[in-house]
A and B are shown apart, each in its own frame.
Chain A
């Protein structure tokens, strides 16, 4: 596609529920990144995929968070047993696999845990 697409744009869920957030990267981009941004803060790195594999998942806060990219394109971020502290905007970005290039973010998913 022309840009990075994220769905849903907004998600409200109850504490303890499971949620899935989807990211469809720019066509041909092999690298995909998930970030989380809380109000008034900069984006915080969660996980980076190169192709189908997670090249760096050091930013995932705990084992309730998991992400997959089974075919090297669309990625899903999965959060189990959601907590109110998980409320944030989840941003996805993609880039070509060459290092040193800035990347394009999707419009984000605003997750609210009530």
Chain B
């Protein structure tokens, strides 16, 4: 079992719809979670962080964390073609040194006009 798992996709979403991405993690004690967006040929870009159970909203993005069920999700509202990218989930596992993050394999999102 991978420590951080994501569905690889592609997740195809009509423009204007909500894209829902999920991520599960194996280390129950993990505290910090991050979503990165990666355009093709570019490096990952941090878009959201979440540390507490519940929802955190930032513009069109909402991150959701459920530590009891060990999953993190990302919602993208009013999806735009420019949101087409791979979304990486990352967790700071409790056993990790410093701020070392463990990444999932990413979910590819395609927003169709």
Contacts and interface: CB of A to CB of B under 8 A. Distances in A.
A102 B100 contact: no
A65 interface: no
Contact of B43 (A33, A45, A91, A102): A91
Nearest to A59: B100
Nearest to B35: A102
B28 to A, nearest CB: 17
B42 A31 contact: no
Nearest to B43: A105
A44 B8 CA distance: 16
Given A41-B106, A100-B32, A48 B98 contact: yes
A55 B97 contact: yes
A99 interface: yes
Nearest to B42: A107
A100 B99 contact: yes
A25 interface: no
A54 B98 CA distance: 11
Interface in B78-113: 88, 90, 92, 96-106
B49 interface: yes
A95 B99 contact: yes
Contacts of B100: 33, 45, 48, 56
B71 interface: no
A97 B100 CA distance: 11
A97 B97 CA distance: 11
A103 interface: yes
Interface in A46-61: 48, 50, 55-56
B61 interface: no
A42 interface: yes
B25 interface: no
Interface of B: 4, 6, 8, 31-32, 34, 36, 42-46, 49, 51, 88, 90, 92, 96-106
Given A105-B45, A108-B43, 11 more contacts: A42-B103, A45-B100, A45-B101, A45-B102, A97-B98, A98-B99, A99-B98, A99-B99, A100-B99, A102-B49, A103-B101
